[in-house]
Amino acid sequence: MMHYREITKAFAEGLLPLGFDLVSAFPVQRYNTSILPTYRLPTFGRESTPSTPSTPTTLGILVANTRHLWPIFLRHLRNRDQAGDSWEADSDPLDKYTRATVERAAVAVLSPGGIRFEIRYSDMAERQVVAFQRLAHETAGIYYNEKCHLNVHEKFGAWIALRAVVVIDYPGPANTSALFPSPFNPYPSADSLLEDKTTHLRSVIASSDSGAKAGISRNWRAWVELRDLASGFLDEEARRRWRYDQGEIEYHYTASKAVLRRYGSRMMEPKTIDPKTVDQVYLSGLQRANNR
């Protein structure tokens, strides 16, 4: 029988070359105890909210990314164009790519052993919604700052995206605070400014009759400023390394296909990924439980 670490590492190795460089194992029950019943994940018959750390847990895997995804995604779109498979009719090409990629990884890792799984995506409808930001805070050590409603990573700042969670019918890590300590706020001195700016931006949306999504899209540069402020603890080198590039930023907030066309036409080939970096990225995604 495989250890959950082996399953998690197989996911990490499969997803890294495809753009998803943050892969974290966690006990589903830890998330479930932190959230309202509406948002809980399935546990495949195991107790959903165990009362003791020794209670068997269900394995969950959080899939996220840094800016590593962007050039790989643009290359994917270019390859589709060259193959005569237009992406222009897709409602959201990045969501489609995410779903196809994570699904293939899950099938490749789990189906040979007949292991059941379910996948929830961050773009899912209300009936299967997951509190991704709370999940990342409770299980992956990525601080959720309620002042600005952003997850802020101690290494990458706010320049991450939470994409999917794979729930697996398999024993997961122990649900203990030793393995999953509460993350710290990497930039508490900015909280007051973040709260003021967020309140202002939300008031602008509330005064609009076009809805939240359209309001953010129209005023996306102001929301980028919020993300920059939340990441203000990063030094100059880290900011250059991890901040999304212009095209990725614009697409993140507008979902405009014109952005994909514009930046896809000028893209360069992504750097070849050194297999040795898989372990480094895998360990940086969580991975407190996986190191114990």
- Alpha-carbon Rg for the chain, nearest whole angstrom, is 19
Q: Answer yes or no: is 104 within a domain.
A: yes
The domain tally of the chain equals 1
Judged by DSSP in three states, 145 sits in strand
Q: Answer yes or no: is 290 within a domain.
A: no
Is pTM beyond 0.75? Reply is yes
Asked if 11 contacts 166 with a C-beta cutoff of 8 angstroms, the reply is yes
Alpha-carbon distance values, 14 to 20, 101, 133, 160, 235 (Å): 9, 9, 24, 19, 31
Question: 72: domain range?
Answer: 4-284
Contacts with 220 (C-beta within 8 Å, 6 or more apart), sequence order:
249, 250, 253, 254
Q: Please, what are the averages of pLDDT over each run of 10 residues along the chain (292 residues)?
A: 94 98 97 94 92 88 98 96 95 97 98 97 78 97 98 98 98 95 97 97 80 80 96 98 96 95 71 43 42 46
Q: Answer yes or no: is 11 within a domain.
A: yes
